[in-house]
Structure 1
């Protein structure tokens, strides 16, 4: 999945288990996600401040799931952040 979300866009990393959210930029949320244990990553989602298009979906979304966040983490790491 490639998103057009700018790394400096505000976002919120949330945990479906009820842990406190992280409110920061998408880059910081993605880096924080990468530091989580695997069992916590499956519970994580990123809430965007502006919806983004998704491949295979007709509508835009406000929420990124763990697989999408993992892809962003790899992209972030490859870009040298």
Structure 2
């Protein structure tokens, strides 16, 4: 998910129906990082620009928990080593 900019507008949604978080991908990823495991399982990020996924013919608007977790790792790495 290296092609997703952290400043892209996005919405963090919860399949349980809790209030969404509207902000940037960075905001959504930061909130996801502090969720409990049960909340992480229900979280999705709705993008404003779809992205390609390897092995799929079409682009997607939603990021699943495993993909969001990968963005958490990327964000932490970038914050630890600013360019």
Matches within 5 A, 1:32-71: 32-71=31-70
TM norm structure 2: 0.93
Distance in 1 of aligned mates of 2:31 and 2:54: 25
Give structure 2 stretches of 5+ with no counterpart.
Answer: none
TM-score w.r.t. structure 1 length? Answer: 0.95
Match of 2:11 in 1: 12
Output the CA distance in 2 between the equivalents of 1:72 and 1:12. 14
Higher percent of residues as helix: 2
State the 1:49 CA deviation: 0.4
RMSD after superposition:
1.0
1:3 Cα deviation after fit: 3.8
